[in-house]
Structure 1
Amino acid sequence: MSSSQRKASARRGARLLPLLLGVSWLAKSQSLVPSNSLVIKVVPQHLVMSGYWVEVEQRRNQHPRQSFTLTPQLYLGPLGHPDRPRYYAVTYWPSIEAPRENEKVRGFGLQGQHRFYLNPSQKASYPSGLYVSYGPHLQIFQIVYDKREWHEVQKPNGLTYQEYVLKKHSATISRYGASVQVGYQAPLVPGRVSLDFYAGVGLRQSNSHDSKTDSQYRTGRSDYAHRGWYFPGGVKVGVALR
C-alpha cells in the first residue's frame, strides 16, 4: 500500500470513529435503563382501622424482574368497625351484655412479599408493570375498652352498695397468615411518583385468650380477630428514592 493510500485510509477511519462511538453510546443507553431500585409507599385504606402501613420495595439488581417488599404496620387510635353497625350490641342484644365503650386499638404488624414483574415497563425508572407477589404477615393487636359492670362500693357510713360503673378492660389478639396478590404499578405522573393497584386472596388465623373477645371482633373479613379466607385489595401511593 502506497503512502497516499495509507493516508486516505487513516482519514476515512478518523471520520468513522465519531459515528462508531455514537452508535456504541446509544446501544448502551438503551440496554442500561436508569433505575431507582428503592420505592417507599403508603397504603391509605387501612386508616379506617387506625392502621398506618408503609411499604418498602427493593429491586433485586441481579434479577430486574423481581423485588422484595417489606411492610411495617402501626395501629394506634379508635377501633374501626367497617363490617358491622357501631351500636350492634345495644340495638340487637341489649339484655345479654353491656356494650363496649371507648374502644381503642394499638398494635403492630409486619408483612413481607416476593414480587415478580411479568412484563416490566421500560418507561419508568423504578419497578413497574403487571406483577404477582406472595408472602406471609404477622399482626398483634391490643384492644382497650370500657364496659359497665356492677361494682361493690363501701360508703363512709359502713354500708355496701352495688354501683353500675364503667370499668376498663383490655384484650390481646395475635393474627398471622399469608396471601397471593396480583397488581399493577404505574407512574402517576412523569417522574418518581407511582400508583400501585392490587387485589388478591389470603388465609389467616387469629388467637386470643378470651373467647368473648374473639366473637366481638370477628364480625367480618376486615375485623381484628378474623380468621379464614380474606381478600386484600386497594391502592398504594409511592415515591422512588434512588
Structure 2
Amino acid sequence: MARLICRSRWLPLLCLSVGVQAQSATPERTLLVKFTPQYVVVSGYWLEVEQPWYQRAGQSLAFTPQVYYGLTGQPDRSSPKAPSLTEHPEKVRGVGLQVVHRRYLGATKAGYPAGSYISYGPTFQHFVVSADELGWQEVIGPTGLPQQQYVNERREKINRYGATVQVGYQAPLLPGRVFVDLYAGAGWRTSHSRVGSEKVSSQYKSGPSNYGHEGFYFPAGFKIGVALR
C-alpha cells in the first residue's frame, strides 16, 4: 500500500515527510555517557552509561558506577558528633553501583534517546570513612574472638542499599552530541555501619547527602552527557 501511494504523482511530498519522521524517531547514536557533577563536593564521582533496550522501543538500561575518594567535606552537617575538618581531617573511600530501567514518554527528535522519561531501579554503596581519633576499638583477635585494641584511627565501614524512582528530561545542550539530563525523584535506603567488628550507629547520618543516611530522600540534579555512537 505504501508503495502505491509513493508512486502516485500527487503525493511525493507526503512520502518525503513520512520518511523524515521515521528517521527522526530512530536514534542514530545509542551509547550515552554522562557525568553527575554535584557529587564531587562529597568526593564522589558518578559516571552513567545508558544503552537502549533494543527489544523495547523507547526504553533503555542505565548503569552508574560510583567511586568515592578524598576528603569527606561536611555534607548536611548538623550533628555535634561529627568532627570538623579542622579538628580531625576525615577521608572517604568507597564504591557503588546504580542500575535503572528508563522509559521515554515520547518519540525523540534528537539523534539519541531524548525527551521526558521516568526511571527506577536499585542502588548499592560501600564506604570506608576514616579519621585520626585515639581510642579503644573492638576487633577480631587471632583466636576469632572479639577483643579491644587501642588505635589512633577510627575507621567506619558503611554498606547502604536502596532504590529510587525519578522523572526527568534529556535534551541537547549544544548542537551535536552534547546534552543535559535534568532529573528529580524520591527514594528510600537503609545502611549498616561497623567500627572494627562492632555494629554501630553511624556518625554520618546528619542529612541525605551524608554517607550513612537512611530513610526517605529526594534526589535531584543534572548530568552532562555525550552520545558516543
Structure 2 regions of 5+ residues with no counterpart? 1-6, 137-150
Preserved CA contact (<8 Å) 2:91 2:129? yes
Give 2:127's aligned residue: 141
For 1:29-108, what aligned pairs fall within 5 Å after superposition?
Answer: 29-33=20-24, 34-84=27-77, 101-108=88-95
Alpha-carbon contact 1:116-1:132 (below 8 Å) kept: yes
Determine which of 158, 166, 191 is the counterpart of 1:173: 158
Q: 1:217 to 1:136 in 2, by over 3 A?
A: same
Compared CA separation, residues 22 and 104, structure 1 to 2 (3 A): same
Question: Which residue is 1:28 aligned to?
Answer: 19
Whichever residue aligns with residue 154 of structure 2, its letter is: H
> What's the TM-score once normalised by structure 2's chain length?
0.79
Q: Distance in 1 between matches of 2:166 and 2:105?
A: 13
Say yes or no: does 1:112 pair with 2:103.
no
- The SS at the match of 1:101 is coil
Distance 2:29 2:215 in 1: 37
Q: 1:192 aligns with which of 164, 177, 182?
A: 177
Moved more, 213-222 or 45-54: 213-222
- Greater helix percent: which structure? 1
Could you tell me which amino acid in structure 2 is paired with residue 147 of structure 1?
E
1:104-138 Cα shifts (integer Å, max 9, x gaps): 0001000000001112331x101111110000000
State the SS of the aligned residue for 1:115: strand
> Root-mean-square deviation (CA), in Å?
2.9
Determine if contact 1:100/1:146 at 8 Å carries over to the other structure: no
Contact kept in structure 1, 2:78 and 2:206, CA below 8 Å:
no
TM-score (norm: length of structure 1): 0.75
Q: Offset at 1:30?
A: 3.0
Change (3 A) 1:62 1:18: farther
* Equivalent in the alignment of 1:128: 114
Q: Which has the larger radius of gyration?
A: 1
| 2:193–2:202 contact (8 Å) kept in structure 1 | no
Q: State the alpha-carbon separation in 1 of the partners of residues 52 and 116 from structure 2.
A: 15
How far did 1:63 drift?
A: 2.6
User: Where in structure 1 are there 5+ consecutive unaligned residues?
Assistant: 1-15, 92-98, 151-165
Q: How many Å separate the matches in 1 of 2:83 and 2:214?
A: 25
Kept after mapping to 2: 8 A contact 1:120/1:130: no
Q: Which amino acid aligns with 2:225?
A: G
1:203 partnered with 2:188 = yes
Work out the CA distance in 2 between the residues paired with 1:100 and 1:216. Answer: 15
Q: Percent identity at matched positions?
A: 49
- Kindly tell me the number of residue pairs found equivalent between the two proteins: 205
Cross-structure match for 1:3: none
What secondary structure, in the 3-state scheme, does the structure 2 residue paired with 1:64 have?
Answer: coil
